[in-house]
Structure formats: C-alpha cells, structure tokens
Amino acid sequence: MGEDIRLAAVVALAQGMAAAHGSREAWRAAAAGACRALGGSFAALSVWERELGRLRVLVNVGERAAGEEEFPDGEAYPVHQFPEITEFLHERWAGGGEPNAWVETAEGPAAGGRPGYVHQRVAALRRRGRGSCVVAPIVLNGRAWGELYVARPTGAPVFGREDADFATVLAAVVAAGIAQAERLEEARRLAFTDALTGLANRRAVDARLDEAVDRHKRDGVVVSLVVCDLNGLKRVNDTRGHAVGDRLLERFGSVLSLCGAMLPGALAARLGGDEFCLLAVGPSADDVVRAADELCRRAGELELGEGVACGVASTADPIGPVRSARRLFRLADAAQYRAKAERAERPVVAGRGGPDDPVVRLADATPSGQTAERRTFRGRQP
C-alpha cells in the first residue's frame, strides 16, 4: 500500500471518528476505519478493564463469525489467557518502551510477529476462519486503554511487519479520537445534568418534552408532566444554612428518582431552585397520578422541609388539545400553583375538576409560558 493511500486512510479514520455522535459510533468508526486501512475483513475494538482483569470487546465490524455481535453485551477475555496483553499494554511501554503492534497467524509466527505468541489467539483465528491478525495496543492519557484488532481471512495475504507498524499509527489516531469522544460525551452529560442532585436539568426536560409532544401529535402517545415545588426550602436555608438546604434538595431528588422509577422511562429533573418535575411518555395518566401521590407521601416524611406541592397534567385527561410543550408545561404548573395555594397534601391534576376545571381555566388565562417561566427559576439557583 503506497504512502499516499495510507495517509488518506489515516485521514478517513480520523474524520470518521470526529463525525461520530457518542462513544458507540466512535468505536464503530474506529474499528471500521482501521479495517479498511489495513485491508482486513474483520476488526474489533476492546477495552482493558483492569479492575476485572479482562479485555472486553466493545464492537465487532466486518465479516463476523458465529456468535460475534456488533455491540456484544458479554464478550470478554480474561487477561491470564492472553499474557501478551499485560506485557504489551502495560509492562513494556510503561517501562519506557513503545506500545508497538504485533502480528499473529493461524500457522505460527509471521514477519512482524512475536516469539512466544499465545495459542489462544491462534486457536481463535483457526476457529473463525481467519488466517492472520494484527493487534495494536491503544494508549490513552499515558495508560493502556485497550486494543485494536484487525484480521484477514484464510487464504488472504498474511500481515507483515509493515502492516504492524501502520497499525501502531492507526492505534494512536484511534486513541486521539476516543479521547475526543469521551470529552464531548462528558460535556453533553454536564450540559443536561443538574450539578447538585445529579438529575436531569431544565435543558434536558425541554428537549425531551418537545420530542414527546411531537410523538403525541403524530402517534397519540400519552405524555404526562408532574411539576413539584419543594415546600420549606427558604426556611431551611434561612435558619439552618444553604448547606442543609442543599441536603434537602439532594434528598428530595432521590425521592423523585425513586418514584419516577415507577414509570418506565420517566425523566426525573430539577428545573431550578426548589422546582422539580417528572416527565413520563407512554404510561397512563392514572399511573402517573399514583406515582405523584407516592411522591407527595414520601416528601412529607422527609426530616427537613415541609412536603411538596405537586401538579400533574396529562394528554390522556380532558385538558383540551396539546399542540405544544409549552401548553402542557403551563397546565402542570397551574395545577402545582393551585396545590401550593391550597396546601394540598396530594397532587392536583389538571382536567379532573369537572367541566369548568379551575386549573385549566387558570392555565388558559395565563399568557403563554408566563406561569412556568416566572416560577421555574425563582429561588436559589443550582
């Protein structure tokens, strides 16, 4: 393979990983790009899990053998079966050497191979109809991260020393791509997570609710929103300090998460200050009300605070057409406002107050978004 072709392959690999959305796509792009660059028929990317003493396969691409899944749940290999993993992914390069790739074949050592190759690799090649493989350690942030594995079928040209050297270069490109993907994923996680409670934040709710309402309009799926105002937070902050107030917020966040687990796929979030919500897509309105009822009960048992004011709005209840996320939010917030005003110990549900439901009238009389936007970010911010 000419230098220009190999350079183009390196660029294509880097571009493929840069374009990936999330770690799984990055893994697939890394394995597929390396497979093409080395002229292989199969490639795998694996991570070294030190604490478990094993090499776990993240992705398999190309011509997979029986039992090889693209994203396997449990394909892993104990390190003691592959002592070269420890040697080449830890001891040798950690001692100042280079994490060079090596070649193994179904027939024995090859050019670019290593003395003392292990029979497990050879047996695996034969069992899967592969004639040779090149294994390249991946080093990330100065530590062994895993390995890149590319194979060719029986009868194809066997990998050589030049291929092993090129695989070392590809592994370095893959390491850079993985580092970038992990940084982006962490940034995305932080952007949609409340720092204090670990729940989702308002940005995450807005994105999920927009998608949910679109599904409701298209497919009729039930979308329900529970909006909660934690009572007594200001008193706790003023009399016992913000550290104790933060502890109350964290504890209520745990209760919210626990009750949200009653609704498959529900999103538990802190909207800001003392306001929280649950977003459920699919469960019935009655199931959501039961979860909200349990939330009120458990919140009332917290050592700190004074319970919670809870409002519920669901597209399955008689609340009129819901054509926007803003309307559902306004209805749930109006129900919560009424629960607060009445010091209700149970949730107030929009649309269940008869033909002239006061919650629906309040929501419809409020200028679009005013109630939710005015109340959501009051109080102490996260």
In the prediction, which pLDDT does 1 show? 57
Q: What does pTM read for this prediction?
A: 0.58
CA distances from 131 to 59, 90, 115, 134 (A): 21, 27, 18, 11
2-42 residue pLDDT tens: 677 888 889 999 999 988 888 899 999 999 999 999 999 99
**How far apart are alpha carbons 366 and 332 in whole angstroms?**
13
**How far apart are alpha carbons 227 and 225 in whole angstroms?**
6
In the prediction, which pLDDT does 359 show? 82
Select the highest-mean-pLDDT range: 79-88, 119-128, 156-165, 352-361. Answer: 156-165
In the prediction, which pLDDT does 77 show? 83
Long-range pairs of 38-41 with CB within 8 A, sequence gap ≥ 24: 38/134, 38/150, 38/159, 38/163, 38/166, 38/167, 38/170, 39/1, 39/152, 40/134, 40/150, 40/151, 40/152, 41/130, 41/151, 41/152, 41/153, 41/156
In the prediction, which pLDDT does 2 show? 66
pLDDT of residue 91 exceeding 50: no
Mean pLDDT within 57-82:
87
In the prediction, which pLDDT does 206 show? 92
Phi-psi region of 168 (alpha: psi -120 to 50; beta: other; left: phi over 0): alpha
- Give me the residues paired with residue 311 across strands: 227, 348
And the tokens for 2? 């000419």
**How far apart are alpha carbons 370 and 376 in whole angstroms?**
10
- Split at pLDDT 50, 70, 90, the class of 328 is very high
In the prediction, which pLDDT does 110 show? 55
In the prediction, which pLDDT does 86 show? 56
Mean pLDDT within 368-375:
44
In the prediction, which pLDDT does 141 show? 79
Mean pLDDT within 265-275:
92
Q: Which residues of 43-59 are buried (b: 16+ CB within 10 A; e: fewer)?
A: bbbbbbeeeeebbbbbb
In the prediction, which pLDDT does 277 show? 94
Least confident segment among 120-134, 216-230, 265-279: 120-134
Number of Cα atoms under 13 Å in the Cβ half of residue 160: 4
In the prediction, which pLDDT does 193 show? 86
